[in-house]
A and B are shown apart, each in its own frame.
Chain A
Amino acid sequence: DAGVIQSPRHEVTEMGQEVTLRCKLISGHNSLFWYRQTMMRGLELLIYFNNNVPIDDSGMPEDRFSAKMPNASFSTLKIQPSEPRDSAVYFCASSFFSGGAAGELFFGEGSRLTVL
């Protein structure tokens, strides 16, 4: 089975531009997490979806960030407008949760974003 697929792997953009990161979940998984990783702050949970519904978006830094899950297998994270402080590696992870049982998270390889 293919794992979690993220694109692009690397993105370099200029401040003010819109950035869209994409994630394809593992087939059969029903939960989707977006994380951001930086040296300063470590691994931060941005938003979590369960069955396509956003459950917890308290980690989204500000209104410039938005995430969608238009279907059960695909998600996007959009930053508009981007700022240099958004530079980080963004990870998508999927899992299957049922009845409160904690599942293993399967991570993609990440999208490294550099905003100049």
Chain B
Amino acid sequence: AQSVTQLDSQVPVFEEAPVELRCNYSSSVSVYLFWYVQYPNQGLQLLLKYLSGSTLVKGINGFEAEFNKSQTSFHLRKPSVHISDTAEYFCAVSGSGGSYIPTFGRGTSLIVHP
């Protein structure tokens, strides 16, 4: 079985400040990892994904995430946030060994203040 823990339910930050949204996972097989963003009244859309290769993954809107196998983490970062980044962010994991139904975390609400 696999699971995802997003350690912060809400992260307030001022505009142009850096931000890190934390995600830890557990899985008995090799994993694929994803970050999705949900803007108000919209569906989720993919920010970035790790399937294999380089552990530093770059996504849309200036976000990046680093896969750390030893710490079973996949934290999302952005060096300078904008008001428009205010949204709900979901970390998800699926197993590359066949359990490919993704499991989502509870989400982290990023609130960017002017």
Residues of A within 8 A of B (CB): 4, 33, 42-43, 45, 48, 56, 91, 93, 97, 100-105, 107-110
Contacts and interface: CB of A to CB of B under 8 A. Distances in A.
A98 to B, nearest CB: 10
Contacts, number: 51
Contact of B42 (A93, A97, A109): A109
B100 interface: yes
A33 B41 CA distance: 19
A107 B101 contact: no
Interface in B68-114: 90, 94-98, 100-102, 104-107
Nearest to B92: A105
B104 A108 contact: no
B96 A107 contact: no
Interface string B24-51: 0000000010101000011111100101
Contacts of A56: 101
Given A43-B90, A43-B107, A110-B43, A105 B100 contact: no
Contacts of B106: 42-43
A108 B41 CA distance: 11
A91 B44 contact: yes
A63 B48 CA distance: 36
A100 B98 contact: yes
Nearest to A105: B102
A107 B102 CA distance: 13
B100 A97 contact: yes
